[in-house]
Amino acid sequence: MCQSFLCVPCSGWKPCARMDDCLSIEEILPGMKSWSAKIIVQEKRQPATASASPTRYQKLIFVDAKGSQVEGILFNHAIQVMGPRLTVFKRYKISNAEVRLIDEKYRTDGLTTQWVISTKTVVEELPDDTDMMPTRFSYTMFKDLAQFMEQKNQFVDILAVVISVLPVTSFTNEFGTGRVQKFVVINEEKLPLQLSLFNEFIDNEGQKIAENMNNFPVIVCRRLKVKPFNGIALSTRKDSTILIDPPIQEAMLLKNWATENAMLFVQVIKDKSYARYNPDLFTHSSQKFTLIYFLQSTQKFAWVRASMSFENIFQRYWYMACKKSFKAIDASYGYSYSCNKCSEHQKATPRCRFDVILSDKSGRVTATLFGDLAEKLLTYSALDAMQYFHKNIELPLMHVHEALRAKEFAVQIQPAASHYGDPQQRYTILHYYESNFAEASTQQTIESPGSFLLESPLQIPTAETQDAQSPITSVQINLASKFDEAATPQANSPETSPELISASKKPKLA
Ligand SMILES: [Zn+2]
């Protein structure tokens, strides 16, 4: 079947005797001429531009029957000419491409050799056979994703089924404008997540996924970024690849699982549980605690194991806000107005917000709780707090302070913008739960309940504590002006409300 072709090494049209003797990928060495190999295109990335020159390139991964892989690369004009001829999952016989070692700094996926597919390279499509594609992917479990969050040059491969397609939206950031489309993905772990596809991924893979939604499209995504959005979310990078319904065993098993779990997906989509913080995604990563002393404001988020206290902070526990955007507003309860942030007609609604001191053996830090998370710790709703405030009665909190003295929490925090010119970095609490590994450290807390407060009086130089130190016991002081901004956690996108769910375990009072 090997006919005459443009033989690169011989520079002429002639049959090559060795063309039918196909070699395996491993047998084809850098600099080798006159060879042929049968491969499957396992991956094809989006074309990209080199960082130091205007050279355009597109990378592919070829795999042979033995499961060996090699990188294929197209440059400039070859991207238009040869790119469309190489389809993912199709089989080809490739001959006489230039074989070279990849410079160490350009290596990905542990591949050391590349075949340069030029417009002169012989590429013949072979008939499909139904064999499974040899696979070498290892997938990250959703429960393990948190440890890859915001890590430089860390990315993950996942296998998942797409259960919902959300609309395309436009955005503008410091790099310009772009488009993003979110997809809800799930696997046997039953932890739904949002996967964001950006720009060209929307038109290619995104479109194909959307067209196949009635058939539970299974995707293999390689080199995704893990982001702290609603807890955890995934997004494409420029060098990501998405394979839709790949002919691999794991994908077929997952599709079977999907057909049996259609009812679960209906429920997930109805509840929108993918858009909320899911503590189950952090069960592994929460082991990685940071001592407060070592917190850095450049960290996107951190977990600390700390006690919480707000006994000595004089504060109001609510502010009036837009129900949707949580932007503070100077209006009375129920007043109808046009929100300056979300530009919608809203009714002024009280929202719970207060500060606590997080403290471990290494130090302490001020952190703010919002919304449901705040109400849960406070044991009062924002509306309750507002009513007490208006009646000029102090919120009865003795039972809360008492209970907190004996407790230790795992707390996920992120740096907050300072609104008060504080010298100390403030934090926003994204999530907390009562730590269940506290046996050793609770003892210490019980022996000297609240001792950190007694030994060294609070010296957090906020307006609230300054007020607290003055002999005023009434809550009448209007602190509203100091709560001007609803510092909503940045981990949540502007279009999604940061309603975080706390997962407090059973109370463990001494
Ligand atoms: Zn609003």
pLDDT tens-digit readout, 314-351: 899 999 999 988 999 999 999 999 998 888 899 999 99
Distance 352 CA to ligand 1 centre (A): 16
Cα gap 42→87, rounded to integer Å: 9
- In the predicted model, residues of the chain with pLDDT beneath 50 are 1-4, 6-12, 14-19, 438-510
Is residue 475 a contact partner of residue 386, using CB atoms and an 8 Å limit?
A: no
Contacts of 182 (CB under 8 A, 6+ apart): 166, 194, 195, 196, 197
The protein residues having their C-beta less than 5 angstroms from ligand 1 (an ion) are 322, 324-325, 339, 341-342
What is the CATH code for 289-483? 2.40.50.140
pLDDT at position 444 is 34
169 C-alpha to center of ligand 1: Å? 19
CA of 370 to the centre of ligand 1 (A): 16
Report CA(79)–ligand 1 centroid distance (Å).
47
Distance from the alpha carbon of residue 322 to the mean position of ligand 1, in angstroms: 5
Cα 469 to ligand 1 centre (Å) = 35
pLDDT at 436: 62
State the pLDDT at residue 484.
40
Instruction: Tell me, in angstroms, the distance from the centre of ligand 1 to residue 391's CA.
Output: 27
Whole-number Å distance between alpha carbons of 69 and 88: 14
Q: How far is the CA of 85 from the centre of ligand 1 (A)?
A: 50
Closest-CA residue to 351 (of 323, 378, 379, 332)? 323
The CATH class of the 5-125 domain is: mainly beta
Q: What is the CA(326)–ligand 1 centre distance, in A? A: 6
Other beta carbons within 10 Å of 488: 20
Predicted pLDDT at 101 = 95
Distance from residue 72's CA to the centre of ligand 1 (Å) = 50
Q: Report the C-alpha gap between 462 and 348 in whole angstroms.
A: 27
Between the CA of 82 and the centroid of ligand 1 the distance, in Å, is 51
Q: What is the pLDDT, as a whole number, of residue 473? A: 31
Q: Which residue in 430, 423, 428 sits closest to 487, CA to CA? A: 428
What contacts 152, CB < 8 A, 6 or more positions away?
none
* pLDDT the model gives residue 447: 29
Per domain, the residue ranges of the chain are 5-125, 142-275, 289-483
Residue 333 CA to ligand 1 center (angstroms) comes to: 15
pLDDT score for 378 = 96
Q: What DSSP assignment string belongs to 156-181?
A: EEEEEEEEEEEEEEEEEETTEEEEEE
Give distance in angstroms: CA of 371 to centre of ligand 1: 15
CA of 332 to the centre of ligand 1 (A): 15
CA of 319 to the centre of ligand 1 (A): 14
Distance in Å, CA 328 to ligand 1 centroid: 9
Alpha carbons 78 and 58: distance in angstroms, whole number: 9
Rounded to the nearest whole angstrom, what is the distance from the C-alpha of residue 183 to the centroid of ligand 1?
26
Residues 6+ positions from 51 with CB-CB distance below 8 Å: none
Could you give the dihedral angle defined by the CA atoms of residues 93, 97, 102 and 107, in that order, rounded to the nearest 10 degrees?
-30
Question: Same fold for the domain at 5-125 and the one at 142-275?
Answer: yes
CATH of domain 142-275: 2.40.50.140
Looking at residue 384, what is its pLDDT? 96
Going from the Cα of 231 to the center of ligand 1, the distance in angstroms, rounded, reads: 22
> Separation of 485 CA from ligand 1 center, angstroms?
12
Model pTM greater than 0.85? Answer: no
